[in-house]
A and B are shown apart, each in its own frame.
Chain A
Amino acid sequence: MKLSDQQKRLCEHVINVFESGSIEGNYAAISIYADGPHGVKQVTYGRSQTTEYGNLEELIEMYVNSNGLYSAQLKPYLAKIGVTPLLDDATFKQLLRDAAKKDSLMRKVQDEFFDKRYFQPAMAWANAGGFTQPLSALVIYDSFIHSGSIPDFLRKRFPATLPVKNGVEKDWIKQYVDTRHEWLSQHSKKILQGTIYRTQCFKNEIARDNWALAKIPIVANGVNVID
């Protein structure tokens, strides 16, 4: 899978809109969710949201080692992340917000971190599957961001085979998008149905044969993404 810089940027910007509502993404976003180990609440941070009991320590370590404006103040927290609950630590949360808003280095570190955590694994999966089209990259990357992978239970619901197994790439992507769209749109929870703007965007791009992502803008949840 070879993407030009513009194609990769386009993929990231579309995902940013899905996740945060803005093209550039919200690097300072902090949410508290009860999805930590044994149902504990935890801090979730950054452009593509990494968690206190997941990979937040790795992200902060990367930033601390980069000697950013807030590295010295965040360094003592390295020993606490994932060990001591930090959801009520206002100083820590403010440091995370300030670093993302006021230090471009934090935004750069987040780009590198999320690229390593999500984009590269998604592209590795795409390469192993024999995919070559930029629109396929976008669909697969989105699935890794939204569902953490290409879920097996969805793959079992459609007959197309992977390109690497002599299947037709466009057929596989179209069937996967349709299957994912159906799963989300018919979900028993109405709030989950609200996320079909992602698959609807892909269905639109497939319909206008935009496999090279050359036709812009791409309309993502009502936002025109042009670059």
Chain B
Amino acid sequence: MCMNLNAANNSLRRFILFTGVWLLVACSQSQSEVWIPENWHPSLEQVREQIDSLANQTAPASQQQLSQSSQNMADVADAQLFISYIQLMQRLDQQQRSDLFKEQQAWLETRIQQASAAIISKGGSLAPLEYNDAFIEITEARLKDLQQRGDNHR
């Protein structure tokens, strides 16, 4: 199950990354054109809910399974944030895009620091789980923020 989810996540990440890079390049060339078709709304909600459900199932999983599930959830949350970032970028003018890019760079740095600080079990097998949980929480907060700003720019 974990392997299947990993493979699906990897394919999805590659697709989103390619699309995102293409969009960023395209957006930098012209702000007047629309780059994302209006009726295209990629969603990872169900994938995320399923991984979450598997990780919290009644039968306790091994530490390796729990850590892998938490990494999968972190990857999906990050991909969702990437989508929202690109969608917001499209709605901004040139100056706003430049500002958002810098803001996102700084935020990414902060995320690493905060997630690293959440590790209590340094050197233990619990550490990846602690890191990923903090990573997910921080990413979800940012996701809400960018989605809200995207809605405000409609």
Residues of A participating in the B interface, judged by any CB pair closer than 8 Å = 17-21, 26, 29, 31-35, 38-39, 44, 48-49, 54, 144-149, 151, 153, 189-192, 194-195, 197, 221-222
Contacts and interface: CB of A to CB of B under 8 A. Distances in A.
Nearest to A18: B63
Chain A, interface SS category = mixed
B125 interface: yes
B129 interface: yes
A33 B121 contact: no
B112 A39 contact: yes
Interface in B88-125: 111-112, 115-116, 119-125
Nearest to B126: A146
Interface stretch (B20-28, B41-49, B69-77): B69-77
Q: Which 9 A-B pairs have the closest CB atoms?
A: A148-B123, A148-B124, A39-B112, A21-B62, A147-B121, A33-B128, A147-B124, A197-B60, A189-B133
A195 B126 contact: yes
B123 A149 contact: yes
Contacts of A54: 123
B16 interface: no
A19 to B, nearest CB: 5
Contacts of A189: 133
B132 A146 contact: no
Interface string B116-150: 10011111111111111101000000000000000
A33 B55 CA distance: 16
B71 A32 contact: yes
Given A191-B133, A197-B60, A35 B128 contact: yes
Contact of B74 (A31, A34, A38): A34
B61 interface: yes
Interface string B54-68: 011001111111111
